[in-house]
Chains A and B, each alone.
Chain A
């Protein structure tokens, strides 16, 4: 498994785009649109990223956490599973799985620091520990995740976690799309190299286009994430567990 993506649970669980985009019933009942559903996931991916900067975990842990987060919402509603709590708990669980455990109390401390003004982000250790068990269940106990990381492409690869690509495509295809984008940005023609790989270039190009579309559509500040006026109304639609 660790050596073989093809026999992994990750590979078996890859989804179609439609399944990933589908807004859970409870959320659409609250008036969450598919676009808003996507916005929350982008926003909370940033949230996980920023929290991770505070507790200083490696890139891989963050990537695993975001993957868990996105996977949860292919099965559970945001109404039932408050993303404000699911996000830090995903980071907590991912840190254990990736063998670099972060204390729950540290997460609680930094959430308080980061989101002091927002009461909906007020959680205790107990909340994270309870959610950890619910997450294990929601993930059906499948915890091993593969990532398309390569040090040279880290920036673009990181951006792919603002999307659901990791739930849909095998990591190596995402990595190839990142290589493709990098080659286009650097104005290098590496078509022969791709030809030798014998992968379906249509898929690689489609993923690349999705990533570029994402850049165009959201024009996100890499430090700050989504603008407040865009995300706040959406978050307010979701009930708070805090």
Chain B
């Protein structure tokens, strides 16, 4: 990994020289995220990664508050990502330290899309649902990555659409990458109750046991979030949009619980025996236990027949009792995820907006050399913002690396519905894989869903 030495007279670390900065793509409480390209091939470059020109996302952690050192968020992320290796988990390619200003940089393989932007694009630009085959593929991959994490005793704790990345054009096109491990925990031998880390998981995707103050929660909290994301992929709207009560350190979130109860009905001690032990259930009797909702309207919201396998899977993910909630391993075996016929339609998603005026120090230059790409004029030939030339694209090939039995069934699905960038909508022939897998989505770029002139989503900072 990086040597972190401070280079030449510019006071710029030597490692920085290996990247060509493209621009800023995101901002969070911890710091900034940049898009860069590798100038030289990495010595251990594998196919497609670490090659010259490879896009890299660089997450810069701000200098910590006085006296706190490296942020625990960064430590967790480094510690976990340095150990794990899975196709559906984001790949940490490098860590760099700038000793001069005590800042820390994590370099990841860059993913062009994420579920937040994909869902938004369908909702706001296309006005069309994501086709069921694509939903299935995305869900399967998400579960596949999560199953790997859970079988390694890692709870993600902050799953939400913006943390689920989807690879753009390239060898891993359409592959899901679970990202942002800043809250993830190993739960094998916790030294403190897990709840000591404070409240976790963005409120809309937060499991009911957390909202009710559970102290020792499990990997089931991630499965609840997957259920919420699954529903959102179907309807393009967050399933339970509660309003967060921010002022309180109390995990209890009445509005969020109310949103859940309205859809799923009121939980009962009969169906969820340990409910009685949850602090907030006991303490807030008149608030929570007072409300009674009985009509379960989930099927109406997601527009799925109650007897369909997809609805069955969704309701098992949104099971109140965390002990009964379906696990990632079980979900992968569920009938709803059996291979099916590929859909026909291909959607191209817009690339991530890049702010090319911001440098690694986060300083914004006054005279941008290029127009900010997020608002680039939508040409009728290309959906690619100027600063990122796409000439190095490789012809698409079948996903030969997808081996295992389950993967074979879903083999080509990943890149199927997510056919990404295709400047000028040039018809591209999928490689041998298209013929060899009956379930593989046929790529018919010229049938793209009216994406010739898609325009761009309004520029918005990604929420990390």
Contacts and interface: CB of A to CB of B under 8 A. Distances in A.
A and B: interacting chains? yes
A132 interface: yes
Contacts of A136: 70, 78, 95, 97, 104
A20 interface: no
B389 interface: no
Most chain B CB within a 10 A radius of its CB, from A3, A8, A128:
A3
Contact of A132 (B69, B79, B185): B69
Nearest to A57: B191
Contacts of B72: 96, 99, 101
Interface string A115-133: 0000000000100111011
Nearest to A3: B153
A119 B15 CA distance: 36
Interface in B73-107: 75, 78-80, 82-84, 95, 97, 99, 102, 104
A54 B446 CA distance: 69
B188 A133 contact: no
A61 B95 contact: no
A8 B102 contact: no
A1 interface: yes
Mostly, the B contact residues are loop
Contact residues on A (Cβ < 8 Å of other chain), bracket: 20 to 34
B78 A141 contact: yes
Given A130-B102, A132-B70, A3 B151 contact: yes
Contacts of B196: 99
Interface string B397-441: 000000000000000000000000000000000000000000000
Contacts of A125: 67
A52 to B, nearest CB: 13
Nearest to B150: A3
Interface in B128-163: 151-154
Interface in A183-211: none
A199 B84 CA distance: 28
B186 interface: yes
Contacts of B84: 1
B191 A143 contact: no
Contacts of A105: 67
A241 interface: no
Given A129-B102, A130-B99, A143-B78, A1 B83 contact: yes
Contacts of A97: 75, 79
Contact of B75 (A96, A130, A142): A96
Nearest to A149: B189
A141 B2 CA distance: 10
Given A3-B153, A9-B83, A97-B79, A140 B1 contact: yes
B102 A100 contact: no
Interface string B185-223: 111111110001100000000000000000000000000
B4 interface: yes
A144 interface: yes
B153 A129 contact: no
Nearest to A143: B79
B451 to A, nearest CB: 40
A110 to B, nearest CB: 15
A19 to B, nearest CB: 20
Contact of A1 (B152, B191, B197): B152
Interface string B360-382: 00000000000000000000000
A129 B69 contact: yes
Nearest to A128: B69
A100 B154 contact: no
A92 interface: yes
A142 B1 CA distance: 11
Given A96-B75, A130-B99, A104 B67 contact: yes
A99 B79 contact: no
Contact of B99 (A60, A133, A141): A133
A217 interface: no
A133 B102 contact: yes
Given A60-B191, A98-B191, A144 B67 contact: no
Contacts of A99: 72, 185, 190-192, 196-197
A98 B76 CA distance: 9
A133 B104 contact: yes
B153 A144 contact: no
Interface in A134-167: 134, 136-137, 140-144
A3 B152 contact: yes
Nearest to A133: B97
Nearest to B64: A129
A140 B84 CA distance: 15
A93 B76 CA distance: 11
A143 B75 contact: yes
Interface string A62-95: 0000000000000000000000000000001100
A66 B189 CA distance: 19
A197 B286 CA distance: 57
Nearest to B98: A133
B372 to A, nearest CB: 33
Given A103-B67, A141-B1, A2 B186 contact: yes
B82 A61 contact: no
Interface of B: 1-4, 64, 67-70, 72, 75, 78-80, 82-84, 95, 97, 99, 102, 104, 151-154, 185-192, 196-197
24 contacts: A1-B84, A2-B83, A58-B191, A60-B191, A93-B75, A96-B69, A97-B79, A99-B72, A99-B185, A99-B190, A99-B196, A104-B67, A129-B69, A132-B69, A133-B4, A133-B70, A133-B102, A136-B97, A137-B2, A137-B3, A137-B4, A142-B82, A143-B78, A144-B186
Interface of A: 1-4, 8-9, 58, 60-61, 92-93, 96-101, 103-105, 125, 128-130, 132-134, 136-137, 140-144
Enumerate the 8 nearest inter-chain pairs by beta-carbon distance, A residue then B residue, closest first.
A1-B83, A2-B153, A2-B186, A143-B79, A129-B69, A3-B153, A132-B69, A141-B95
